[in-house]
Every structure is written in C-alpha cells, then in structure tokens.
Chains A and B, each alone.
Chain A
Amino acid sequence: MQLSSTPFKELRLERMSRAFGSFNALREISLTIRQGEFIALLGPSGCGKSTALNCIAGLLATTGGGIFIDDKRIDQLKPEDRGFGMVFQNYALFPHMSVRENIGFGLKMRGVAKAEIESRVDAALTLVRLQGQGNKPPGQLSGGQQQRVAIARAIVIEPPLVLMDEPLSNLDAKLRLEMRAEIRRIHAQLGATTIYVTHDQDEALSLADRVVVLRDGAIRQIGAPHELYDSPDHIDVAQFMGFRNCLRGVVTARNGLQASVAVGNATLTGMLRNDLNVGDAALVAARGDDVTSGDEHANTLPAVIESIEYRGREFVGSARTADDVELVFHTPKNVAVGSRVFLSVDPDRTIIFADKEV
C-alpha cells in the first residue's frame, strides 16, 4: 500500500485560537507543517493539545485565526469535507460492523466501488498485520489489535493528513512500545503527514520529526527531538524533557555562556539558556541521571537521602538539601536512607534559566 498522491505542500495554522467562554484553551497557535512530516503535540493534560487536534479535524470550531492547506482556507469546512483520517484515544470503532466494514467505512462513504474497497481493505489489513481477523467484530479483538484497526481505518482512505489523539494511552506498557514501533513503521512506509497528540515525551521524542511543546494553550517551543532534549529554551519544556531537578538561586558570576549560581550555601555552574547578569534570579535545572553522589568538590550540593529505589542497572534516589530542596539522582551503589551525601552534576549538563517568578 502506498500513498498515491502528494496532495499538499504544507498545512499552516495561523494564529489559531479557541476560547470556551472566558477560558482560552488555545492562544494564537502558529505552525507550518510540511508534507510528510510527523509532528508531535506534547504537553500535560489541559495544555490544549487535544483542542488543537479537534480544531484541525473540524470537530471543534476555532474562535480565531485560520487553518490553511497551501492557499486554501479549510477552517470553515465540515469534518467530512476535510478528508483527513483520525485515530481516537478510545479507538471509536463501530461496534456493529466487522473489522473489514470498519476499515472500509471511509471508502464506502466516498462511494468507492465495492471491488476496490475490498482490495484496499485487504492491503490495509496486511499493513497493520491483521490478516485473517477481518470478519470479527472489533469487540473480540485485544486493545492493541483494536488500535491497529483504527489506524487502518484512518489510512485506508489515503488522507493527506492523519490525526492521532493519544492513540497509545489505553494500552499497557509492553503493547505501547510495540505499537509505537508499528506507527513508526507505517509512517516510514506511507509517508503520510501526521499530527500526533501525546503527553508522553518518550513517544513524542521517538516518533516525531518535530515536537511542539504546548503549555496553557500556547506553544512553548518547536524543535527536532534532539534540540528539545539537549537545549530546552524554557523551564516548562526542560521539566517535560526530564530535568526533574530545579533549584532557585542568584547568579554570582558569568563567563560567556557559562554562569555560576549560588543555591543556598553551595555554588553550581551551568550553561545559560537566557541572558542573565550577576545578581539576577535564576533557576538551575539538571536531569536526575546527570546527578550522582560523590565526594565534596566543585558543583556539589550536600543532601540527606530520603528514599532509594532499585532500578536494575542502578539506583534512583531522592535527597533533600539543607535548604529543603528535593533532588533526584542516580547512583550505581546502594546508599542508606538518612545518610549524608554530596550530589554532583557536570556543568555541561546543567542549564540555567531566568527565574521569572521573582
């Protein structure tokens, strides 16, 4: 099965907004998606990512801005006239139809000839590896198989755009990994432009060509997965990318892109992500797996172990500093709860943001 057409060059969201009464669920989202791209909308629940997807699908009217495919404005079109495919979080398979009828639904609505529907449904069943399951009702399939049917139903119509709304969040951990690989494979095979909504940064980083991080209805950062992972340019994005340790302090020295920040009695050095000068309030962020327990030297914080968790290859602990800041760290050897340790972090792996709340 191949996507035969190249229906558009780009999909543009121009200051797309959606308000529910006085609540702004989406604030002027602007984004250009190129044909064939896999875009992940990433954010915590309530950030507006599903609202954005529903607006693009036409299931929810926008209250401002526009949606364009090349030069054609589509935000006034009904969902059935947009011709997109969509995969829902709870699958939304038609319970009274067989798997084949579910997959062929979009083709039937388009008036495609019966013989062609049959052959395209066969191809889609093969693509999602459900050959031989076609005549069952969806209720007899497992969760992972149901989601494959939902994906097949969305892509069999060869849509210019596939929308996926947290498609894996109802599956257990093992199936989630399998289906992630499936989605990757199918996207690589078909090259369909895809917008994928998720709250799971692993899913976003592993699947997407570009990740859009949303917070409070606004875009915080857009970038390739490695850009977001290595250099988040906002503390919200950093926290989403695994920077679980976040300490408040004051800049005491600056040397080009590097700065030192006084955190309690200790001084930490890291890479500046905002333009800060001596005396400015700062947030120092580091990933748990970049913090280790060691001897007292530069870039360390004294802390008391509060809990320690076995993770197979290593231990993950949580510790509290004298200033009552909780830190997450990784260590290769077990440490007793209640003992004092020095937590150290590599300055290259530490990032410093402006502290806007001060």
Chain B
Amino acid sequence: MTVSALDGHHAERGNKSIRQKLALRGIDGVTLLILPAAIFIVGVFIYPFFYGLVLSFTPMAGGGALANYQAFFSDPYLYNTIAATLRLALPVTILSLAFSIPIAMRVRLMERQRLLTTILVLPLTLGTVLVAEGLLNYLGPQGWFSRILILIGLIEEPLKLTNNYWGVLASLIITVFPFTFLLTLSYITGIDPALEKAAATHGANSWQRFRFVMLPLLVPGIAIAFCLTFVQAFAVFPSAVLLGAPSGDTRVISIAAAQAAFEQYDFSMASAIAMIMAVVQLGVVVAILAIRNMFYRGTTSGGKG
C-alpha cells in the first residue's frame, strides 16, 4: 500500500518533469498539430522518393544496380536531354528575373498596385496547357504575331516560332513569370523604404540607389526566387510537347522519363531518370545558394523602431 502510493507519486513527478523538459524545448500539445502534415509528407513525398531511389537501382533487365544509370549516360538520345532542359530552364529563369526586378521596383510605388498585380498574375491561374494552346495559335504560321509583322513589312515569310525551341521558351516565361514576379515583389517591398530615402538625400540617383542599396539587400531574395523558378522551369513538360519538338530540340528530361515509364513500361529506368533530374536541379540550387552566401544576408531595415 505504502509502496505503491510512493511509486505512483514518483511516476507522477517523473511525468511532470518530462513534460516540463519538452515545454522548455517548445514542444507541447499544440506541437501535435504538425502530425497530419508530417504523415502526409512521409506518405506522398519521402516514401515515394526512397521507393523510386531503390527502384532505380533494381533494373528491369538486370545487369547490376547501376545498369540504368550506365544506360542513360551511354545513350546520347537520353543524356542530351539534360542539356536540352538546362538550355530552356536557365534562360527562362534569368529572363523572368530580369523582367521581374524592374517591374516590381516600379509596381511597389504604384497606387493601383493590386490591379496590375492581378493582371500580371493571371497567366498563373490559366495553367500551362491553356497558355501553350493559345500560343500555338498566336505564334503559329497563320497566327496574329507573324501576320502583323508581315503586315507592317518587317518580315516577308512567317516566322517559325512553334514546334521548336522559341515557342517553348515563350510559353515557359509566360507561365513562370507571375510566380517569379510575386516573389520578387514581396522581397522588394520588404526593404525598409527609409533606406532608399536616405540614399536619395545623400546624393544617390535612381541607378545608384538600385546598385548600392537595393540590389545588395535583394541578393538573398533573388537567389531564392532563382531557385524556385528554376525548379519549376526544369520540370517543363506540357509546353515542350505541345509547342516544341518533343523528339528534337526540346526533348527535355521529363519527356525521356515519361517515355520510359509509359511507352516502354520501364519504371525502373524512369525512376533513374527522375533521380538524375533531381541531382541536376539540386546541383544548380546548391550552386546558387553558395553564391548567395558570398553576399550580405542580414536584416533589410535601417535601424530600430
């Protein structure tokens, strides 16, 4: 009787101290709310990822764990897709950022900011397929774009802008730009406006204000926007098929993966291609973040208050 009461007492004290210890580390009942999200991420991301990773090392035709990777890197029709994808994704990312920064710099000062932002963001809501279909007509040999240029006498023959690299590039920029723009705008508006005023009163003209104050403070934001835009552009699929030359110029890596999976039913090879895709993306992202680390990364406000 006495003993068991004593034990209960101890147990209670022990429980309490664990709870207190957890609370000190910021873990309490509310922390349990992350469980659904954690289960979701494990279920639809982490598990499939490792399943695919293992699958890629168990080739359908046998021949050792690395057979799929050897096959990929010995066939130019396959390994050239990496370069083809980078040839699209890198210019798309750089051009989107190059448009976003000046437009966001201007939009931040506008009173009807919301209206313009809505117009710019509209392509995001349309989806890549609709944009690709639209461009197919607009940029096609009988489309308005070529017809107008012929009408004003700039060209004589219709420009070939579809079923090749340029159509995919245009459609990718249109679908990716709103995303890049919104990210950039939020970084630019996050910079303390007093800093630009201070720069102006101390003699910096608008270019100098951008070059010496805004740009250095924007580097971390630009790096993040670059990475996220690049990852989106790298996964290009619908526009490369619809607007491009899916067996030629714009045979991107996702097309190779889709063909392996759904035309040859070789899920093991498809997984290997997906893994190679992930490694290339990761390589670019790591490189960009490493470059960012060479620049200033601290606060973007000019003091207290």
Same complex origin of A and B: yes
Q: How far is the CA of A84 from the CA of B300 in the complex (A)?
A: 24
Q: How far is the CA of A92 from the CA of B212 in the complex (A)?
A: 14
Given contacts A59-B197, A89-B305, A90-B194, 9 further A-B contacts (CB under 8 A): A80-B204, A86-B197, A91-B302, A92-B194, A94-B302, A95-B217, A95-B302, A105-B212, A109-B204
Q: How far is the CA of A95 from the CA of B129 in the complex (A)?
A: 44
| B302 contacts A86, C-beta separation under 8 Å | no
Q: Which residues of B contact A139 (CB under 8 A)?
A: 298-299
Q: How far is the CA of A106 from the CA of B192 in the complex (A)?
A: 19
Q: How far is the CA of A88 from the CA of B192 in the complex (A)?
A: 12
A–B pairs, 24, beta carbons within 8 Å: A57-B197, A59-B197, A78-B205, A79-B200, A86-B197, A88-B198, A88-B302, A90-B302, A92-B198, A93-B303, A95-B195, A95-B298, A95-B301, A96-B216, A105-B199, A105-B204, A106-B203, A109-B204, A109-B208, A109-B212, A138-B303, A154-B202, A163-B201, A170-B304
Minimum CB–CB distance for A128 against chain B, Å: 15
| A80 contacts B298, C-beta separation under 8 Å | no
Return the contact of A79 from the options B195, B201, B299, B301 (Cβ within 8 A). B201
Contacting A at CB under 8 A, from B111-138, are none
| B200 contacts A59, C-beta separation under 8 Å | yes
B213 at the interface (CB under 8 A from A): yes
Q: How far is the CA of A137 from the CA of B300 in the complex (A)?
A: 13
Q: How far is the CA of A108 from the CA of B199 in the complex (A)?
A: 11
Q: Which residues of A contact B202 (CB under 8 A)?
A: 80, 85-86, 105-106, 109, 153-154, 157
Q: How far is the CA of A105 from the CA of B195 in the complex (A)?
A: 12
| A78 contacts B200, C-beta separation under 8 Å | yes
Return the contact of B201 from the options A57, A108, A110 (Cβ within 8 A). A57
Q: Which residues of B contact A157 (CB under 8 A)?
A: 202-203
Minimum CB–CB distance for B35 against chain A, Å: 38
Contacting B at CB under 8 A, from A48-106, are 57-59, 78-80, 82-86, 88-96, 105-106
A143 at the interface (CB under 8 A from B): yes
In the complex, how many residues of chain A place their beta carbon closer than 8 angstroms to a beta carbon of chain B? 36
B296 at the interface (CB under 8 A from A): yes
Minimum CB–CB distance for B280 against chain A, Å: 32
Please, which residue of chain B has its CB at the minimum distance from the CB of A166? B305
A146 at the interface (CB under 8 A from B): yes
Please, which residue of chain A has its CB at the minimum distance from the CB of B217? A96
Q: How far is the CA of A86 from the CA of B196 in the complex (A)?
A: 12
Please, which residue of chain B has its CB at the minimum distance from the CB of A153? B202
Minimum CB–CB distance for B216 against chain A, Å: 5
Chain A positions 276 through 315: 1 when the CB is less than 8 Å from some CB of chain B, otherwise 0: 0000000000000000000000000000000000000000
The answer to whether residues A137 and B298 also contact, given A90-B304, A93-B303 and a CB cut-off of 8 A, is yes
| B303 contacts A92, C-beta separation under 8 Å | yes
Please, which residue of chain A has its CB at the minimum distance from the CB of B215? A96
The answer to whether residues A96 and B296 also contact, given A89-B305, A90-B194 and a CB cut-off of 8 A, is yes
Please, which residue of chain A has its CB at the minimum distance from the CB of B205? A80
The answer to whether residues A92 and B299 also contact, given A57-B201, A80-B201, A110-B203 and a CB cut-off of 8 A, is no
| A58 contacts B201, C-beta separation under 8 Å | yes
Q: Which residues of A contact B296 (CB under 8 A)?
A: 95-96
Q: Which residues of B contact A105 (CB under 8 A)?
A: 199, 202, 204, 212
Counting chain B CB atoms within 10 Å of each CB, which of A92, A146, A150 scores highest? Answer: A92
The answer to whether residues A90 and B299 also contact, given A59-B197, A85-B201, A110-B203 and a CB cut-off of 8 A, is no
Minimum CB–CB distance for B88 against chain A, Å: 34
Q: Which residues of B contact A96 (CB under 8 A)?
A: 216-217, 296, 298
Q: Which residues of B contact A79 (CB under 8 A)?
A: 197, 200-201
Q: How far is the CA of A259 from the CA of B200 in the complex (A)?
A: 54
Counting chain A CB atoms within 10 Å of each CB, which of B201, B203, B217, B304 scores highest? Answer: B201
Q: Which residues of A contact B201 (CB under 8 A)?
A: 57-59, 79-80, 82, 84-86, 163
The answer to whether residues A92 and B203 also contact, given A59-B197, A86-B198, A109-B208 and a CB cut-off of 8 A, is no
Q: Which residues of A contact B304 (CB under 8 A)?
A: 90-91, 143, 146, 170
Q: How far is the CA of A222 from the CA of B73 in the complex (A)?
A: 83
Q: How far is the CA of A228 from the CA of B305 in the complex (A)?
A: 31
The answer to whether residues A95 and B300 also contact, given A83-B203, A85-B202, A89-B305 and a CB cut-off of 8 A, is yes
Please, which residue of chain B has its CB at the minimum distance from the CB of A93? B302
Contacting A at CB under 8 A, from B158-194, are 192, 194
Q: Which residues of B contact A110 (CB under 8 A)?
A: 203
The answer to whether residues A88 and B216 also contact, given A78-B200, A93-B302, A106-B202 and a CB cut-off of 8 A, is no
Q: How far is the CA of A80 from the CA of B199 in the complex (A)?
A: 8
Q: How far is the CA of A292 from the CA of B303 in the complex (A)?
A: 45
Contacting A at CB under 8 A, from B265-305, are 296, 298-305
| B203 contacts A94, C-beta separation under 8 Å | no
Q: How far is the CA of A94 from the CA of B197 in the complex (A)?
A: 11
Minimum CB–CB distance for A311 against chain B, Å: 29
| B200 contacts A94, C-beta separation under 8 Å | no
Q: Which residues of B contact A59 (CB under 8 A)?
A: 197, 200-201
Q: How far is the CA of A108 from the CA of B202 in the complex (A)?
A: 10
Q: Which residues of B contact A89 (CB under 8 A)?
A: 305
Contacting B at CB under 8 A, from A309-344, are none
Considering the complex of A and B, which 5 residue pairs feature the smallest CB-CB distances, nearest first? A91-B303, A96-B296, A106-B202, A92-B302, A92-B198
Counting chain B CB atoms within 10 Å of each CB, which of A83, A93, A137, A163 scores highest? Answer: A93
Q: How far is the CA of A59 from the CA of B197 in the complex (A)?
A: 7
Q: Which residues of B contact A78 (CB under 8 A)?
A: 200, 205
Q: How far is the CA of A143 from the CA of B303 in the complex (A)?
A: 8
| B203 contacts A109, C-beta separation under 8 Å | yes
| B302 contacts A80, C-beta separation under 8 Å | no
